[in-house]
A and B are shown apart, each in its own frame.
Chain A
Amino acid sequence: MNALLTLKEVSKKYGNRDVLTDVSLTINRGDCIMLRGNNGSGKSTMLRIVSGLIPISSGERLLQHSNLVIGYTPDRLSKLRMTSTEYLTHMGRISDIPKKNLNNRIRELHEFFSLEPSHTLNMTHFSKGMLQKTNLMQAMIKTPDILVLDEPFSGLDKESIAHLLNSLKKIKSQGTSILAAVHDPLLASQLESRTYWIKQGRIWMDNTQNFSDQSTVFFELEGLVEQETLERLSGLFSDVTWKTCDSGHLLFTIMQKDYRDFLLEFIHKGGEINNLTRKELKP
Chain B
Amino acid sequence: MTALLSFIHTCFMRSYRYGPPTFVFILGILFVYSVVPNPVMASYAFSTIFLFIVSAVISYTLIDIETVNQESVTLLHSGSLLKLYMSKLLYSWLFSIPLALYAILYPAIFHKFDRNPSLEELGMSFIYHITATWLGVALACWFSSKFIRSRVISFLMLSVLIVITLSVQGIKDQLPDALKSVIVLFPPLNSIINVMVDYESTSLFSKLWVAGASLLYGTMIAVLFLLMLHKRKLDSSH
Contact = CB atoms under 8 A, between A and B. Distances in A.
Given A81-B15, A86-B10, A94-B7, A55 B70 contact: no
Given A53-B233, A78-B67, A94 B77 contact: yes
B72 A94 contact: no
Interface residues of B, number: 26
Interface string B56-79: 000000000011111011111110
B72 A53 contact: yes
A77 B70 CA distance: 7
A48 B72 CA distance: 9
Contacts of A74: 68-70, 72-73
Contact of B73 (A54, A82, A86, A138): A138
A14 B234 CA distance: 13
A51 B72 contact: yes
Contacts of B235: 54-55
A51 to B, nearest CB: 6
Contact of B3 (A53, A82, A90): A90
A91 B4 CA distance: 9
Interface residues of A, number: 29
B24 interface: no
A237 to B, nearest CB: 27
A93 interface: yes
27 contacts: A14-B238, A45-B238, A51-B72, A53-B72, A54-B233, A54-B238, A55-B235, A72-B76, A74-B69, A75-B69, A76-B69, A77-B70, A78-B67, A80-B11, A81-B14, A82-B10, A86-B10, A90-B3, A90-B7, A91-B7, A94-B4, A94-B7, A94-B77, A95-B78, A96-B3, A138-B77, A139-B73
Interface of B: 3-4, 6-7, 10-11, 14-15, 66-70, 72-78, 231-235, 238
Interface of A: 14, 45, 48, 51-55, 70-72, 74-78, 80-82, 86, 90-91, 93-96, 138-139, 141
For the complex of A and B, list the 6 residue pairs with the smallest distance between their C-beta atoms, beginning with the closest.
A74-B69, A93-B3, A81-B14, A90-B7, A94-B77, A78-B70
